[in-house]
Amino acid sequence: MDRNSHINYILQLADNALVLGHRNSEWTGYGPILEQDIALSNIALDLIGQARYLYQHAAKLAEAAGTGRVTEDTLAYGRDAWDFRNCLLVEQKNGDWGKTILRQFLFSAWQYFFYEQLQQSRDSELAAIAEKSYKEVVYHLRWSSEWVIRLGDGTKESHGRMARALEQLWKFTGEFFVPAGYEKELTGIAVDPAVIRPLWEDRVGEVLAEAGLEANPGAWMQTGGKEGRHTEELGYLLAEMQFLQRAYPGCEW
């Protein structure tokens, strides 16, 4: 097994969590009501917490490989967009509340089945992180499912917004199930996306049906994020998120 592939795989999972966590945190102080502001901020914190465990794990492996000093902070704040391995879905802009919720739902449904499988990983550190994170994701999925149904099956206005959001985001979901080059070499460590696909499709299909929403089954799917080819949104996100560490490297407060 190639150590670089292993590190890239962990970074992919960490970047997913960090980027979506950051996106959600952009709502803090702006949520539609206080209760939901807190709910989404809680989810942001869960995701950033997951990212930290994963970055720490990746940093340990990288240092063991002799790449110099690597920490969770250098990984989160010191890499540029083409080094990030997150899938394209999580970097998409928040848009309105409906789009944010739908992005969370599509991702949480994936993460839910993914962490379920990852608990069997031969990498015991990854398996432990998956076990801890799974409980958090169970709630993320429950919460976001409720909202997708509530808004999809709500008023004409809310339904229209959800349908638009689905059209914008659906094309980024295919990437979950296309293994990147480095994933294919990690038998026993990585989760086989083919195992998750039918589970994800079933769950997402059920919730969308209850919400009165329909995805385009023949939609063309955009990929590339896992290999570092991103949409332009990620650059703006990193510019804001990394600014402080770029301007004052190693700064603590």
Partner 1 sequence: MPPKKGSGNKGSRKKYDMTEQQWPLWEVFIRSKQGLDHKHAGSIHAADAAMAIENARDVYTRRMEGVSIWVVESKYIHATNPDEASSLYDPANDKIYRHPTFYDLPDELKHM
Q: Which is nearer to partner 1, 36 or 74 (CB)?
A: 36
Q: Which is nearer to partner 1, 142 or 229 (CB)?
A: 142
Q: What does the CA dihedral 101, 138, 182, 3 come to, rounded to 10 degrees?
A: 130
Please, what is the minimum distance in Å from the beta carbon of residue 41 to partner 1?
9
Q: Which is nearer to partner 1, 83 or 157 (CB)?
A: 157
In the complex, the residues that contact partner 1 under the rule CB under 8 A are: 33-36, 38-39, 42, 112, 138-139, 141-143, 145-146, 149-150, 153-155, 157-158, 203, 206-207, 210
Please, what is the minimum distance in Å from the beta carbon of residue 243 to partner 1?
28
Q: Which is nearer to partner 1, 153 or 227 (CB)?
A: 153
- Rounded to 5°, the CA angle 25-26-27 comes to 85
Please, what is the minimum distance in Å from the beta carbon of residue 57 to partner 1?
25
Task: Please say whether the beta carbons of 175 and 223 come within 8 A.
Answer: yes
Which one-letter DSSP state was computed for residue 77?
A: H
Return the half-sphere exposure (C-beta side, CA atoms, 13 A cut-off) of residue 214: 3
Q: Which is nearer to partner 1, 5 or 108 (CB)?
A: 108
What gap in Å lies between CA 32 and CA 130, rounded to an integer?
Answer: 31
Helices then strands, each counted (H, E), the chain: 10, 0
Please, what is the minimum distance in Å from the beta carbon of residue 187 to partner 1?
26
